[in-house]
Amino acid sequence: MTATVLPFQVFEAPEHWRTVDFISDLHLQDKDLATFQVWQRYMQSTTADAVFVLGDLFEVWVGDDAAPQHRFLQQCAAVLKDCASKRHVGFMRGNRDFLVGLDFLKSCGVHNLQDPTVLQFASQHWLLSHGDEGCLDDTDYQAFRSMVRQADWQHKFLAKPLGEREDIARQLRAQSQQHKNDPASVYADVDEDWAIAALEQSHSTCLLHGHTHRPADHVLSMASNLQRRVLSDWDVQSTKPRAEVLRWHADGQVERINLLDDAPL
């Protein structure tokens, strides 16, 4: 597949911002209250001027009308609203929660982020993305993504009764879990040519994304000083518990904060 990049929006951080936090792939669900509680504490205590959520905050989202029907989603909305009343909170859709609507975000005071978005901060330009668009080798997923991101498909899906949509979501999650458990399964990573093209087209030096659950820092081009930084997923109940925030300071410093180490925020 060829390396193509969607048009991007530009977000210029206010001059008074000193720190910006990034998180992704929390996959919040009522079956994992431990991860929710760590996220809740973080959102209540972070001292950052802004929190950018780069996709898959929720394990599944079948439409904004589901939120009033589920106590857990109401709790998540309350956490978002409280945090957004104190600092900037930006939300970018992922492959799990691509149906989060503007009405829900507005009700929480959360800002909508297009994928991708160029963030201008600390005298640098970073390209923010969930990352799934760049996993070009996963051809089955790319075909699925192309279908479900179409307005017509979404309109027809959201027109179905809520219970039917939840049943479909459960089936898709079961299929995804079965694929994960297959020893022969190899998950695609973000294509390097796609990443370089995205950075060059957006005049950015760093691509920051989640989705792959492979937190690391990569040098794409030493000559052009191009980098790719990958956010960690969150899973507090895993055999290898994870809950990490990437923090970018106005002086250019970047750090990864492990919330399970009780690091001050």
What CATH number did the domain enclosing 68 receive?
Answer: 3.60.21.10
Neighbouring residues of 223: CB distance < 8 A, sequence distance ≥ 6: none
Residue 1 has pLDDT above 50, yes or no: no
Q: Answer whether 257's CB lies under 8 Å from 265's CB.
A: yes
Establish if 166 belongs to a structural domain. no
Of the listed ranges 100-104, 123-127, 195-199, 261-265, the one predicted with least confidence: 261-265
Asked whether residue 265 carries a pLDDT value surpassing 80, the answer given is: no
What proportion of the chain, given as a percentage, has pLDDT over 70?
Answer: 94
Give the CB-side neighbour count of residue 119, counting CA atoms within 13 A.
Answer: 29
Q: Is residue 97 part of a domain?
A: yes
Q: What is the DSSP letter of 129?
A: -
In the chain, how many domains are there?
1
| Predicted confidence (pLDDT) at residue 201 exceeds the cutoff of 90 | yes
Residue 86 in any domain: the answer is yes
- Considering the domain boundaries, does residue 172 fall inside one? no
> Quick check: 89 pLDDT over 60?
yes
Question: What pTM value is reported for the model?
Answer: 0.94
Beta strands in the chain (DSSP E): 9-12, 19-23, 50-54, 88-92, 111-113, 117-121, 124-128, 206-209, 216-221, 226-230, 244-249, 254-258
Answer yes or no: is 144 within a domain: no
Alpha-carbon distances, residue 208 vs 14, 23, 126, 228 (angstroms) = 20, 10, 7, 6
pLDDT at 2 (0 to 100): 44
Residue 200 in any domain: the answer is yes
Confidence grade of residue 261 (pLDDT, cut at 50, 70, 90):
confident
Closest Cα partner for 25 from 55, 62, 61? 55
The Cα–Cα gap between 188 and 92 comes to: 21
DSSP letter (8 states) at residue 146: H
Beta bridge partners of 49: none
What letter does residue 110 receive in the DSSP assignment? P
Q: Would you say residue 180 lies in a domain?
A: no
pLDDT at 193 over 70: yes
Rounded Cα–Cα distance for residues 95 and 242 (Å): 20
Q: Which domain holds residue 209?
A: 9-135+190-261
Domain contains 153 = no
- Residue 195, pLDDT > 70, answer yes
State the chain's mean pLDDT as an integer: 93
